[in-house]
Amino acid sequence: MGIEYSESIEEATQIARAALPLASQLAVPANPVNYAVFYEYVAGQNPQLTAALDQLRETVKDLSNAELRALYHNFVSETDEESLKEVRRALSTIIDSTRGSLEKVGNESQIYQENLGVAAKQLGGAGGGDVVDVVTQLIDETVRMQKASRELQEELAQTNQDLSKLRSEFKRVREESLVDPLTGVQNRRAFDASLETAFNQAQQSSEPLCLLMVDIDHFKKVNDTYGHVVGDAVLKLVARAINDTVRGGDVLARYGGEEFILLLPDTPLEGAERVADNICNVVRNQIMDRSHVGKDIGRVTVSVGVALFCQKESAEAFVARADTALYRAKQSGRNRVCTDEVR
């Protein structure tokens, strides 16, 4: 269970402001991993992390990215999604307020100088050299103030640039955390979120929702015989073959090991069965030779289980029915499609 933050967005923003300078103080880049460590450290709600970082600061002269990454994996990586959203909201607030400060400083100093210039001309026309001299001095002061403001603007602009870059990095890391690095399709975490969305929509509408569980037949034998490099190549080819059969709104994910799962919104059972048959045919006809996977391993086949969503069932039950259908397909000889009997 991750750490839960109770502070308001204003308090989170103050923590974010205090966390950012730590990167400069420790001479390390403020990348998302390092920043997450600093945020937790300043928040003070992760005593194990605080103790570990304090000890490192006392014993290590120059902290490295590797040491901070170790702290992240040991004490931060299990932080729940809501906590990360809180950090992102705080960063967004800083960026917005910084941008507002930049505009305000520039606009106010410009208006101030223009107004004083007008006043000097008016007083000059009316006589009273002493008054004009005073106003002229004020204009000189304003010019100096504008120079200082410009320097402040440059500093704020750099901060704004750094924060914008950090937010982009958070977005990139977030997106990468939802993708299976080997096959390039969604991972199980991303699929669970997609399933929840589609499941809720299906409960509130009459549109059909189908689920396919796809398993590579005898994949363990492929790994044991040809090695994991070839096994990885087979996984990538199968993922690509499945992905080529789906529509834009369908969701494909690697569910674990050699198993893939495919969510088909707004698809009747007959349509899902056609998709499953097509997947079997495409994979079966894929040539797994030296040019594709590094060795000639013959043909690879898949088994597929199909289920249609039933109202009032849970998402877990929905997935379990597709998994049961997949089990029957494998027990029946593999290289085939089996459909859950509940219609």
Q: Is 267 helix (H, G, I), strand (E, B) or coil?
A: coil
> Catalytic annotation on 273?
no
- CA–CA distance, 213 with 207 (Å, rounded to integer): 20
Q: Is 40 helix (H, G, I), strand (E, B) or coil?
A: helix
Q: Which of 10, 258, 270, 341 is catalytic?
A: 258
Q: What is the DSSP string of 45-106?
A: --HHHHHHHHHHHHH-SS--HHHHHHHIIIIITT--HHHHHHHHHHHHHHHHHHHHHHHHHH
Q: Which two tokens stand for residue 244?
A: 């080529």
Task: Provide the CA 334 distance to its chain's centre, in angstroms.
Answer: 37
Alpha helices (H) in the chain, listed in sequence order: 9-25, 32-43, 47-59, 65-71, 81-125, 129-176, 188-204, 219-226, 228-243, 269-284, 290-293, 315-331
Residues annotated as catalytic are: 258
